[in-house]
Each structure stands twice: as structure tokens, then as C-alpha cells.
Amino acid sequence: MQTRKLGKGNLEVSALGLGCMGMSFSYGPPADKKEMIALIRKAVELGVTFFDTAEVYGPYTNEALLGEALEPVRDRVAIATKFGFNLNPDGSPGWQGLNSRPERIKAVADASLKRLRTDVIDLFYQHRVDPEVPIEDVAGAVKELIAAGKVKHFGLSEAGVQTIRRAHAVQPVAALQSEYSLWWRKPEAEVIPTLEELGIGLVPYSPLGKGFLTGKIDENTSFDKTDFRTTLPRFTPEARKANQAMVDLLGAMAKQKNATPAQMALAWLLKQKPWIVPIPGTTKLHRLEENVGAAALELTTEDLRQIEEAAAKIALQGDRYPEHIEKMTGR
């Protein structure tokens, strides 16, 4: 697989990464550990060198899974993880608010290093902007971790442009992780131009619309009660029915290319900028292979024009998050 650079440093990763959250957290019961270790190692065989996790996924179990899976190939891959939440003291899923105080950031780094079975974190993101802690203090704490050799690169997640600029002035930001896809295009207004100006990479999470853009979900799909999509306004049966038009568009374009809707959605993202690295997640081997195949799918200028023209006529329905979670983004 081709590689791409995130930021102006030397963080070079595969054009597509692997988001690992769903293996342990959020999308129903955790998947089988042995199967996920095999899946992660298969991803490496297929050329994936960029793996995404976080302390809060589980909590803790996703980092531990990734550490075990990647230990034998650690020198061939880049691992991204995140800090920024106060986790439940009993270790149950969820969190008790934001916490990006410098001492907390450093404690998370040390704990994550142990779970990841490594001596350095390649990319350390602030998971969500903490309004109680100046971003300069956050960037300064990560700068100290970089000086100490515990972290290589600094990242932000779902941050607004002013936060990005202020953080970048203290410690260069290698990448911003934010939701971005044909299903959520808000970053195009301000965030992407700012990243281009500053030389910061973009790592889109949920590049397949939390599974919706694969074409395997419709208004009749039922989710496990532990699947967080049951809480999302965009995943109500009514919204799914209305938003089917976007999947139909991708399906029609995919047929012309002998591809799948998911591959079209990922290929579209890859064509937006050369410094965009999507991180689709999956727990299924055939989906992993399908997603990796998107990196080789060529879209022409005319293909992109057709997608743009058709997408402009589709009014997607439903907010992407409930209000209390959406308030934590774009700060």
C-alpha cells in the first residue's frame, strides 16, 4: 500500500489505517480476542502500518489488545492513542468528564506505554478539547513527553480552528483526527483549509459513516443494546430511511468501477487531499480486505464531479451525535 505523510515531521503511514475501537467498545459486545489479534496481524500483512486506539476504549482493553497483537511487528507500525477523559474508577465503560491537566496526560502516557508493550507512542492525541485547561498547557505537556522520548508526535481530535492554531504554536501538531466522510462534511468549511495552511494531516474516523455507507445497514437493521448507534439521531429508523439516498449513490458509482460502496466512500476521501489518512474499523476479515482494496481504486476528476453533483442534491437527516456529546466537538 502507498504511504502518506501526516504533518511536517517524519510520520509516514499507510494511506489507510485501522481504527480498532469497535473490537472492544461501542459497537456491541467485544469481539473475540484471538480473532482480533489475527485480524490486526493480517492488516499488517496487507500493508497497513497505522493503528488507532485510546485509553477510553474498553476502557484499557483495546490498548492491551493492540499491544499484544503488534508486539511482534512493532518496528513496522505506528500506533496512535489518546488521553483526555476521567475514566470511571470501577473500570466500567464510559467516563466522568474531561481531564487534560498536564499531570493526567503524563500519567496516561505511562500507563498506555505499558498496555501497548512499547517504549514510545507514535502519535498521542488529545481525545477531546478540555475547556478547563488552556490548550497551551496541553501542548506543553506533550512537548515534554516528546523531549523525554515517550511520544513522537502530537495530535488533536475534534478540535476547532482556534484551538488547533494555539496548540500548533507551542508544539507542532502532526494530525487532527475528526469525523469526515461523504456523510459528515463539516470539516471542509474551516478545518481542512486551516490544516492545509499549517501543514497538519487529517485522520478521518468513521469514514464509512459508522457502517452506514457500506450499504449493509437500512431502516430495518436492529442493533445490540450496547451498540452506541442506538443513541445517535442519525441512526433512527426514519433517518436511515431518508439517508439511504447517499448509499444508493455510492452503490451506483461503485457498479461502474466494479467496486463496493465502502470502497467508493474511502477512495473519495483519499482523493480529497494527499495528507488525509482514513481509519476505517472492522472486526471482519473480508471487510478489512475490502477496505484495503479502496487504496488501489482510482477515481477520475469526472468521477469526483459526478459524486459531488449527486451528493449536493441529498439532504442528510439527523444529527451525528446527541447534543451533550456534540458540545464536546469543535472547540
pLDDT digits (tens, 9 = 90+) for 248-298: 999 999 999 999 999 999 999 999 999 999 999 999 999 999 999 999 999
Angle at 27 (CA atoms; ends 331, 218), nearest 5 degrees: 100
Active-site position among 57, 125, 180, 205: 57
Contact 118, 67 (CB under 8 A): yes
Q: In terms of DSSP bridges, do strands 95-98 and 85-87 run parallel, antiparallel, or are they unpaired?
A: antiparallel
d(CA 54, CA 28): 17
Helix H or strand E segment including 50: strand 50-52
Domains of the chain: 3-208+269-297 (3.20.20.100)
d(CA 44, CA 41): 5
124: β partners? 81, 154
Q: Which cell numbers hold the place of 82? A: 489518546
Q: Which cell numbers hold the place of 242? A: 431518508
Confidence label for 94 from pLDDT (cuts 50, 70 and 90): confident
Q: Nearest Cα to 210, choosing from 38, 26, 43?
A: 26
| pTM of the complete model | 0.98
According to the model, what pLDDT value does residue 280 have? Answer: 98
According to the model, what pLDDT value does residue 45 have? Answer: 98
Task: Identify the DSSP state of 321.
Answer: S
| Mean pLDDT, the chain, integer | 97
pLDDT digits (tens, 9 = 90+) for 207-261: 999 999 999 999 999 999 999 999 999 999 999 999 999 999 999 999 999 999 9
For range 299-312, the mean pLDDT:
96
> Is 57 an annotated catalytic residue?
yes
Instruction: Estimate the crossing angle of helix 102-115 against helix 135-147, to 10 degrees.
Output: 40
Helix H or strand E segment including 68: helix 61-70
Q: Which residue has the cell 437527516?
A: 317
Task: Identify the DSSP state of 166.
Answer: H
pLDDT digits (tens, 9 = 90+) for 170-180: 999 999 999 99
Q: In terms of DSSP bridges, do strands 201-205 and 173-179 run parallel, antiparallel, or are they unpaired?
A: parallel
CA distances from 150 to 20, 65, 106, 210 (A): 22, 20, 10, 32
Extended strands (E) in 183-319: 201-205
For range 38-46, the mean pLDDT:
98
Residue 280 CA, chain-centre distance (Å), reads 7
Inform me whether the pLDDT recorded for 50 exceeds 90.
yes
Q: Nearest Cα to 98, choosing from 111, 108, 87, 106?
A: 87
pLDDT digits (tens, 9 = 90+) for 114-164: 999 999 999 999 999 999 999 999 999 999 999 999 999 999 999 999 999
For range 55-61, the mean pLDDT:
97
Contact 122, 74 (CB under 8 A): no
Inform me whether the pLDDT recorded for 90 exceeds 90.
no
